[in-house]
Structure 1
Amino acid sequence: MIAFIFHYIANNPFVFLFLAISLGYPLGKISIKGINLGATAGTLLVSVLIALSAFSFYGLTIDAPGLVSDIFLMMFMYAIGMKVGPQFFSGLARGGMDFVVIGLIVVFSNFIIVFWGAKLFNLAPGYAAGIISGSYTVTAVMGVAQSAITSGAFKAPNGITLDQVSANIAAGYAISYILSSIFIILLIKYLPTLFGKDPIQAGAQAEKDFGSGQDNEALPSTAGFSNLGVLPLDVRAYRVEHEELVNQTPESLYQLYPQATVLRVVRQNKVLKAVDNPKLQLGDIIGVRGQYHQLIAESESHIGTEVDEPRARNIDIEVADLHLGHSPYIGRPIAQLSQDIGFGLYLKALFRQGHQLPILPQTQIEMGDVIRVAGSDWCVQQAASKLNCTPIVESTLTETFYLALSLLIGYICGHLSVNISGIPFALGTSAGCMLTGIIFSFLRTRNPAFGGPMSEGARSFLQDIGLSLFVAVLATSVGPKILDSFQGIVVIKIAILGLIGALIPPLLAWLYGFYIRKMNPAILAGACAGARNSTPAMKGAQEICQSDIPAIGYPVPYALTSMLVLILGYLSMVMY
């Protein structure tokens, strides 16, 4: 039966691909003390084990179509470009320069350590790129390294085949990925303590300086994002009994009392909506929306007697995501945003690059951010108009058009090659698609008429399925040969180099931020995690600080290094 299963898989490569993903995803989610492989590494491990077992026990090779690998890798790179595009440019252009420097320190020191360390250890071609990919926990580096092989930019020396080079990439990645995934979490998590700082106190101080965080919310355009949930708000009805309210409008009252918003006015038998901004009169009954304790404690003394008037209280509330493009509010703090456009709205969450940020009054909003609000439809539309955006509802046609156009342009640009000192350099089709994704994302967020920011649900799907199918196809060629990459003490060399490349760069960045820039340790820990592209490390920092504040430092270095590490991974192949 086992022999039949392996023969069937070998004769039907698509069964192999779907089997690898269906087993790899749950394997990658298994967590031991908060540490897991992740879906992509789990898929790679399962794929290698199946391919290696088929070859070792039955002499079978699985011939998965290379076209599948190429297409899905390009789709993955496009999705990465769409994710980091807006924050990549805005992070370079304004503010966060310390975050930019931290990212540069980490990505270039990692390249120097791994590339020259591989030379020093006399490792065969392919190992350096694999160790960069694993030590940085960025599987996509394997993709650009593989594209250097397929494009001809990398020439294998005598005595080694291209398949063996690919196996070396996978071997270097597998060992260094596992080790760095574990130890980077521990390093980032305990850096404040190692340098004599109380992480809880650092998180509390940062929250005091900036504000407070929010509960976790579903990512934009994913299941449950529009759930209203439980809000700390209520709508209560009061009769206007104080002369100082006469001739005031809902808008003018909002400027005076932003914590309590007048959403409806009942005058005799007429119901007046606040959108018309009517002037109040004595005897009007108004529906006021605000925090429970403020309405209970203060409203009767400021407005009048509370009454039971359903027409003033029964106001429909909806949840909407506002995808920010080009807007005059870009670069301004949340506090100003709330004051200017927050009429009748409750700010539920703020997202950047698919990560939820704590809502802090001093946090600057950036192009590509997603703001989740709860309020009446007309309040949402009014805020969207002021922000020069609309609650985006993506269409399949729009996403398919941009995806196809980006892949077309990226493939053509990446396929072009130039010779420098006799060495052919090509951007690579996968890197070309990532760059077009960055450009398209930047243009779309600046001009919502182009479709607006990409749906996070669609983008996440392209990213996950694209990379998983790429590594599954890669495993069919490297699986039978990966054991040859573990001869002698090469495993020890990979482990040492991978750990040094994973841990020393963020430590150098920490020293810069801690001693030179005097940054808050909680925010600095998040920045070091972002520069290392490690979301689990950032979550570890949040856990030890007992605060969401480390997320503030994460996005800018993450966006910067996400692109640079791919370029350096490619160079590690053509320069080796």
Structure 2
Amino acid sequence: MQWMTHVLQQYPELAIFLTIALGFAIGPLKIKTFSLGTVTAVLLVGVLVGQLKIDISPTVKSVFFLMFLFAVGYSVGPQFFRGLKKTGLPQMGFAVLMLLTCLIFPWLCARFMGYNMGQAAGLLAGSQTISAVIGVAGDTINGLPLTAAQKTDYNNAIPVCYAVTYIFGTAGSAWVLASLAPAMLGGLEKVKKACKELEASMGAGDESSQPGMIPADTVVVFRAYTVTADWFGDGKTVQQLEKHLADEHVRLFVERLRQQNKLVDAAPDVVIRKGDKIVLSGRREDLMGERGLIGPEIQDAELLHFPAEALQILVAKKNIAGMKVSALRAQPFMHGIFIRSIKAADIEVPVMPDTVLERGDVLELVGLKKEVDRAAKEIGYADRPTEKTDMTFVGLGIVIGGLIGVLTVRIGGVPISLSTSGGALIIGLVFGWLRSQHPTFGRIPAPALWVMNNVGLNMFIAVVGITAGPGFVDGFKQVGISLFLVGAVATTLPLLAGVLMGKYIFKFHPALILGCTAGARTTTAALGAIQDAVDSKTPALGYTVTYAVGNTLLIIWGVVIVMLMR
């Protein structure tokens, strides 16, 4: 043990990776439905490792924190600016008002309990489950005219208070929004009924039956048949057959033919005769009943050997933004194309006829490669898998954001700035939006974005935990169990306020109230609990815009609460 302590003290980088490894292993472990979560687990492991008194340069955590904040802004930028449009303004207005309560209630609790600025920042970070406040508040404290000892004490208090309040901040939020909130809206059964009615009004009755609007788990298949049915007579065109097979709930497409032992690509005017072999695409259950209308199903390896693709496409064209799914599906270039899923800010939203598409949304389309390629050109940009990240874009973005952040404005003699971290977040929003408008540059693949988000944040948290470790026990003794109760109050009151504002001020649909409240608090776990409780995906319709606003303002509140407590 003594040897290990010496090694970790001499090579602190090993201590960081040990903390990351153990935190990622412990975080997902569940006791019934509860788990610490990766961030909290990394912090607590870091505190334990920090008892060995390991010195780590603060530059290390700053590098990873800037990377994390830029990635956060990049992810939500399109939805953030989308909220500025007329259709998103009510949700953005709701988010701003609710987020003010997310600042005011923790601040009032901290004032009432006599906490210092570090404890108040930790209370905000944990009760609102926004880990980035740890770094932003710390940067703000370091910029104040305080003694070195005061800065150290305040900075060490932040992770202590965060760890104590985060548990209820996560689990409690899911419970409040999935249990208390529906009761405030008339009861769970009433909310379930309202969600089903919203689904029906958006065409959800067709969602499970129309191939252009299939849920993510529906399987699209390609099957071959020999044409033997008398209906074909002297011949029918591909267009006539597709029209003949279609009804209100079914659309099937002819993809390929074998005529006189020659392979022929399908075109609307190609004539199909008895004895030909054809390939149809569609949902598996729709194709199962086609034998009597066409002929027996066959296995023809050569006929069925052609490139089909499932491709993610970034919505970037102006004429597509604002279009409903039903209108998109009716476009000529969508012939033979199936919509498997839609994501906004990496949150999956329901695929319904009345779901509105916006720039920055990602559609997953399924079909023949040539047809998917054609649709991609009309919709936006084909987001094909790649390992390359535009590091020029990332590097310049963080530098520009940092330069903006270090600019200082004095109000009443008090220096106020966004700090480099706040600047990185803001420029990330702008760059993420620019990417949605001009998708030919600024590519950050999803795996790389995951690394920037998760590794960036947890590396920062690991250093924070290790650095604060020696003073963590003393800090916990100071705040005691009372902080957990104060954190529960600071978590619950903003959520209840959000539900009441959504119901009485904005008069949102119950599904949107729940989704908007979860989004403003950036609590994805609560969104999942809500959707399970109401048995509907519709709350996600209110999540994305408010999530973007919440991710931005909650981080900025880390600066504001320090100034308020000062």
Contact 2:234 2:273 in 1 (8 A): no
Contact 2:223 2:280 in 1 (8 A): yes
Partner SS state of residue 9, structure 1: helix
Displacement after TM superposition at 1:343 (Å): 2.0
| In the alignment, structure 1 residue 128 sits paired with structure 2 residue 114 | no
Match of 1:171 in 2: 160
User: For 2:219, which of 200, 225, 231 is the aligned residue?
Assistant: 231
Deviations 1:475-498 (A, max 9, x none): 23322223333345x335533432
Displacement after TM superposition at 1:159 (Å): 10
- Residue 539 to residue 422, structure 1, CA distance change in 2 (3 Å): same
Match of 1:38 in 2: 37
Contact 2:43 2:461 in 1 (8 A): yes
Q: Hey, what's the Cα distance between the residues in 1 that align with 2:40 and 2:297?
A: 61
Displacement after TM superposition at 1:243 (Å): 7.1
Contact 1:105 1:505 in 2 (8 A): no
- Residue 501 to residue 548, structure 1, CA distance change in 2 (3 Å): same
Match of 1:101 in 2: 93
Contact 2:109 2:490 in 1 (8 A): no
Unaligned runs of 5+ in 1: 55-60, 216-227
Match of 1:64 in 2: 56
Unaligned runs of 5+ in 2: 209-215
Q: Hey, what's the Cα distance between the residues in 1 that align with 2:17 and 2:285?
A: 54
- Residue 204 to residue 266, structure 1, CA distance change in 2 (3 Å): same
- Residue 483 to residue 250, structure 1, CA distance change in 2 (3 Å): farther
User: For 1:201, which of 177, 193, 204 is the aligned residue?
Assistant: 193
1:357-396 to 2 correspondence within 5 Å?
A: 357-396=349-388
1:316-355 to 2 correspondence within 5 Å?
A: 316-340=307-331, 341-355=333-347
Match of 1:219 in 2: none
Match of 1:483 in 2: 473
Deviations 1:517-557 (A, max 9, x none): 55443443222111111111111112212333322222111
Partner SS state of residue 322, structure 1: strand
Partner SS state of residue 355, structure 2: coil
Deviations 1:406-443 (A, max 9, x none): 12111211122122221111111111111221111111
Partner SS state of residue 382, structure 2: coil
Contact 1:21 1:469 in 2 (8 A): yes
Contact 1:133 1:142 in 2 (8 A): yes
Match of 2:549 in 1: 560
User: For 2:428, which of 425, 437, 441 is the aligned residue?
Assistant: 437
1:209-358 to 2 correspondence within 5 Å?
A: 209-210=201-202, 211=204, 231-237=219-225, 239=227, 241-242=231-232, 246=236, 249=239, 253=243, 259-274=251-266, 277-280=268-271, 282-283=273-274, 285-297=277-289, 300-301=292-293, 304-306=294-296, 308=298, 310=300, 312-340=303-331, 341-358=333-350
Q: Hey, what's the Cα distance between the residues in 1 that align with 2:207 and 2:482?
A: 44
Match of 1:5 in 2: 4
Displacement after TM superposition at 1:501 (Å): 2.1
Give the aligned CA root-mean-square deviation in angstroms: 2.9
- Residue 415 to residue 305, structure 1, CA distance change in 2 (3 Å): same
Q: TM-score, normalised by structure 1?
A: 0.87
- Residue 378 to residue 10, structure 1, CA distance change in 2 (3 Å): same
Match of 2:396 in 1: 405
Deviations 1:236-276 (A, max 9, x none): 435384479845648985997671112123333433213x5
- Residue 556 to residue 244, structure 1, CA distance change in 2 (3 Å): farther
Q: Hey, what's the Cα distance between the residues in 1 that align with 2:538 and 2:384?
A: 28
Contact 2:188 2:534 in 1 (8 A): no
Contact 1:214 1:358 in 2 (8 A): no
- Residue 293 to residue 110, structure 1, CA distance change in 2 (3 Å): closer
Q: Hey, what's the Cα distance between the residues in 1 that align with 2:244 and 2:549?
A: 40
Partner SS state of residue 449, structure 1: coil
* % identical aligned pairs: 27
Task: Kindly provide the amino acid, as one letter, of the partner of residue 34 in structure 2.
Answer: I
Match of 2:450 in 1: 460
Contact 2:126 2:162 in 1 (8 A): yes
Q: Hey, what's the Cα distance between the residues in 1 that align with 2:188 and 2:373?
A: 45
Match of 1:27 in 2: 26
Displacement after TM superposition at 1:88 (Å): 0.6
Q: TM-score, normalised by structure 2?
A: 0.88
Number of matched pairs: 547
- Residue 127 to residue 244, structure 1, CA distance change in 2 (3 Å): farther
Match of 1:148 in 2: 140
- Residue 159 to residue 18, structure 1, CA distance change in 2 (3 Å): closer
Q: Hey, what's the Cα distance between the residues in 2 that align with 1:244 and 1:419?
A: 86
Task: Kindly provide the amino acid, as one letter, of the partner of residue 324 in structure 2.
Answer: P
Q: Hey, what's the Cα distance between the residues in 1 that align with 2:281 and 2:187?
A: 46
Q: Hey, what's the Cα distance between the residues in 2 that align with 1:201 and 1:308?
A: 45
Displacement after TM superposition at 1:449 (Å): 1.8
Deviations 1:191-227 (A, max 9, x none): 2135423154344333333327999xxxxxxxxxxxx
Match of 2:212 in 1: none
Displacement after TM superposition at 1:98 (Å): 3.8
Match of 2:211 in 1: none
Task: Kindly provide the amino acid, as one letter, of the partner of residue 422 in structure 1.
Answer: G
